Structure 1
Amino acid sequence: METYSAYNVAVVLFAAFGSLFAGYGHAVIVSTVVEGLGRLNGLRLAAVIGVIGSAIQTGAVNQGMYLAARVITGVSVGQVFTAMPTYFSEVSPPHSRGLMAGAHGSFVNAGYALAAWVGFACFHASGSSFGWRFPNAVLLLFALCVLAGTFFIPESPRWLCARGRDQEALQILCKLHHDKNDPEDHFAHRELGLIKKQLDADQAAVLADGKWQLFSKETYRKRMILALMLIIGGQNVGVLVINNYNTLLYQSLGLSTSEALIVGAAYNTWAMIGNFVGAMVSDRLGRRKALLGGYIANVAMFTIATALIAKYAENSSKSYAAAALTFLFLYVTAYGGAIDPNQYTVCAEIFPSHLRSMGTGLAVSGLFLADTLWLQLASTAMATIGWKYYLVFLCLGVVHTIFLYFRLPETSGLALEEIDALFGKAAAGHIQDEELEKIAATHYDTKVHGSEGDAREVQA
């Protein structure tokens, strides 16, 4: 027993050290890959790594092989978590960026829901290797889907502009933002002008302030702190601990293993539905209202659920158990509908193009550090103090709510290049429409609409 405990302590210590080391390193590596290869090639690389890792997991013949494969798939997951919000934010028009970027959190929850139902199904085949090999094979299938999907979506126009490929960027912007009420694609041309103007300002800032401006400039430090508080806050309210230990939690409320698995799958499915609904109303409601409302409701529902779990621990009344489950579902409604679809959106959109991958990567690394901390503590904490462990998340939820109330600006409806103004930096994109038209016309590709006359008409 002492040897086992010592082994666990060593694992926790090395995991913590590894996470701290990888936190910054992961962000640097991922951002370098995404910036150097492009948004799409970065996703393709992540998908290929995921295919390799999940294939080895599925065919593992011993624990060492399986754990090594888990490391490989972990690299893939980390890269996707960084690349997806960055890509979504850069290809979305301002009026629907919440919907499109919020899709990241929505599909993450769709994955949780699918995993929960697959886990329930494979529970009945736990007597054979199929019970654990099949769930890993599902990972392989979806990694292949991600890889295939990258060949049907466009590259980020902002990344193309940063590489001097303006004509390709314009063609993509025209396709992405074409509207029957704007047959000449004036919106796309204006956006190209904004992007070019902002890139020029960003390049000048890099020359003046160096590559470490994310930490040396106050405007970027504010954004980095906000991004970390958003992403880490999403874990500090206890959602992952509940999700990963939901079977044990539901069993502690009197459910059988099979019943607990069904309720856990339903819980994740409900969270997925909430995510999709939240993403659809994000642009209409606004990021600030959604996140603050989500945190307040989340903390309130979790407070009541924790009190009911404490009452159940005293007398094992089924009425307390049923009420606790109800408020846990209300808790995840607030999280899935308001917090999850907006946290990744804000995290990606508050950084300028040249720092977006790095800033998002560091914030996502904070997510994995928080997950490592709470999950490593969970088994010991729940065995020793039980429901009181949830009080930690209640307190942290209050702290994050107060911070966001004073520090979170409203970013919905703004072009990415206009968000600088919210953090005390003059936005390079704040120029008159006439100037934007002139800038855009100089980059206008006559091949998009087919004649030089069209280009002259736009410039006029």
Structure 2
Amino acid sequence: MGTGNSPTSSSPSAPAFSHLIDKSRPWWKNKRIVLLNFWIVVLLITSSTNGFDGHMMNGLQSLTQWETAFDHPSGGKLGLLNAIQNIGSLSAYPFSPYMTDGLGRRFAVLFGACIMIAATVVQTASQSVGMFIAARFMIGFGLTFAASSAPLLITEIAYPSQRGQLTSVYNCLWYVTYGTFNIPSSWAWRIPSAIQGFPSVIQICLIWFVPESPRWLISKGREAQALKTLAYYHANGNEQDPLVEYEFEEIKAAIKFDREVASNVGWMSLIKTPGNRKRMRIITALAFFSQWSGNGLISYYINKVLDAIGVTDPNTQLLINGCLSIWSFICGMTGGLLCDKAGRRLLFLTSSLGMLLFWTLQTICFAVDNEDGDLNAGYGYIAMIFLFTTFYTMAFSPLIVSYTVEILPYNLRAKGFVWFNFTVSLSVIFNQYVNPIALSALGWKYYLVYVFWIAFEVVFLWFFVVETRNRTLEETAALFDGDETVAQIAEKAAVSAGLPVDQANDDNEKKSRSEERIEDMKY
């Protein structure tokens, strides 16, 4: 796949490995990369179970058949129905990183998929609210194992020039459930419950065809198998290809460096070094921002909000919910595919500023409609929901997962990502209990809380988010440990792969100057 043994010049806006990538034909004409991307799609659908759940629960709350079956849940019971999946996820977090690191990324996905299939069977057959709650707990428990491993495997096997985009679209996949809600029986909610297990069925059938992470294989001493995997998918089986040699040696150098720095990789390693504290500060903030930006009111309680502005027809509510799902998918995919061209930092800042503007306008429309009963303000409110969602999903749907996994070094990637998911679950559970109570008590005034919070997000993202585009996974992770670490790993990889060291150093010097300019701009 390489174009030659001698690297060419690389600018800060181009990847350091760009000179090693075959540019003679587009990737879709390379059968091995197409096959690799197909296996990645098998992993990408993991997120659809979680995304599907949010939209399904939204739809069910507008569905007469479901409300009748479960005695019109409200208040604390409704909060528990929404929150129980995240409680199930929290219960699995202490165990999932050990399975992911110990038994492999693929095995963790398989284990989680098996639990979710069993859970969706119970959910579909539910005859009581207790049975429905238990099934949702099991879905959350199984989802943790699959969702904690799948993004790691995607980012660790993807072709280098496609890694950012493929990992970013992971969090953008969900289904629209509007059609089945028109069935005049309990199957209106049982069919969506059954569909929730479909992605897991696909994964159980295909997961053993998906390549295991070369990084995991190298960490377990299975270097020959790792090299063979890299060569098969990244270079049509050529183990002497310059790109494969560079990737292989860089992965080995990075894992060796991580082990030298922290031989005992426990949970405390996440905050032991200045670099790790920087990572965890950003990861924790992104986890809270992803759920505390007002989107929680839209994603789980849109029907209650629509009731408050006078849109009470269930079919109209379902239609708005379905259109919003489709629009969110389009915007999220667009943001994910632009992550390398536009850059992570620009997308985050644009997203947060747009959210601040349109949430403020949304608050004004909600207030006018509530105080004056102005129908036009109600319609304006719905328009603001779509505009707010446009900016939220352009960054916070695609980037929160990809940015988290790429800034973590291999030895901390599983535990750091579990911490991210744990924090997301905590923030979601808080939202699911607090939002309906606060909205009932304060009405439109509750929206002002989010106006000030989103303003804080803008300030935080400006000062702390670091640009990471156009780096290899190892370079990105090492970035938080200083430019010397990036240069050291790149130099070791270049020497071991037989590539000129001067060029690697020159590339990293250029990247260092670029990062200095970013730091100057931020501070």
Change (3 A) 1:101 1:18: closer
Q: Identity, % of aligned pairs?
A: 25
Residue by residue over 1:219-264, the C-alpha shift from the partner in whole angstroms, topping out at 9 and shown as x without a partner, is 2122112111112111110212211111222233332221111011
For residues 462 and 366 of structure 2, the distance between their equivalents in structure 1, rounded to whole angstroms, comes to 29
TM-score (norm 2): 0.75
Pairing 1:430–2:490 present: yes
Residues 354-409 of structure 1, C-alpha deviation per residue, up to 9 Å, x if partnerless? 11010000111100100000110111111111122222222221212211211111
**Is 1:124 the counterpart of 2:182 in the alignment?**
yes
CA contact (8 A) 2:88 2:140 kept: no
Amino acid at match of 2:307: Q
- Which residue identity lines up with residue 104 of structure 2 in the other structure? G
Query: Cα offset for 1:21?
Result: 11
Matches within 5 A, 1:104-143: 104-107=170-173, 110-111=174-175, 114=176, 118=177, 120-125=178-183, 128-143=185-200
Match status 1:97 vs 2:163: yes
1:333 paired residue number: 390
CA contact (8 A) 1:54 1:69 kept: yes
**Could you say which residue in structure 2 is the equivalent of 1:150?**
207
Q: 1:87 aligns with which of 153, 167, 171?
A: 153
- Write the distance in 1 (CA, Å) between the matches of 2:107 and 2:265: 29
Task: State whether residues 239 and 245 of structure 2, in contact with CA within 8 Å, keep that contact through their aligned partners in structure 1.
Answer: no
Amino acid at match of 1:125: I
Distance 1:416 1:21, change over 3 A: same
Structure 2 residue 353 is matched with structure 1 residue 293: no
Bigger mean CA deviation after superposition, 92-101 or 266-275 = 92-101
The CA RMSD measured in Å over matched residues stands at 2.8
Given that 2:180 and 2:189 are in contact with CA atoms closer than 8 Å, whether structure 1 keeps it comes out as yes
Report the residue type matching 1:237 in the other structure.
S
Give the 3 Å change call, closer, same or farther, for CA 205–26 of structure 1 in structure 2. Answer: farther
Name the SS for the 1:28 alignment partner.
coil
Name the counterpart of 2:285: 229
Q: Is the 8 A contact 1:34 1:357 kept in 2?
A: yes
Instruction: Tell me which amino acid in the other structure corresponds to 1:52.
Output: A
3-state SS, counterpart of residue 398 of structure 2: helix
Question: Where does residue 137 of structure 2 map in the other structure?
Answer: 71
What TM-score results when the alignment is normalised by the length of structure 1? 0.84
Partner of 1:46: 112
Cα distance, 1:168 vs structure 2: 1.6
Contact 2:109 2:149 in 1 (8 A): yes
Q: Give the one of 410, 415, 418 matched to 2:475.
A: 418
Structure ranking higher in helix proportion? 1
- CA displacement, residues 402-457 of structure 1 (integer Å, 9 cap, x when unaligned): 11211111111111211244323423523066503149xxxxxxxxxxxxxxxxxx
Does residue 391 of the first structure (1) align with residue 448 of the second (2)? yes
Gap regions ≥5 residues in structure 2: 1-73, 500-523
Give how far 1:209 is off. Answer: 7.5
For residue 4 of structure 1, what is the aligned residue in structure 2?
Answer: none
Q: Aligned residue for 2:307?
A: 251
Aligned partner of 1:365 in structure 2 is: 422
Moved more, 141-150 or 409-418: 141-150
Which one-letter code corresponds to 1:85 in the other structure? P
1:451 aligned partner: none
- Aligned residue-pair number: 421
User: Counterpart of 2:412 in structure 1: which amino acid?
Assistant: L
2: distance between equivalents of 1:353 and 1:251?
Answer: 47
1:348-359 mapped onto 2 (5 Å cutoff): 348-359=405-416
CA distance in 1, matches of 2:374, 2:456: 33
Cα deviation, residue 176, structure 1: 3.3
For structure 1, list consecutive stretches of 5 or more residues without a partner in the other structure. Answer: 1-6, 440-460
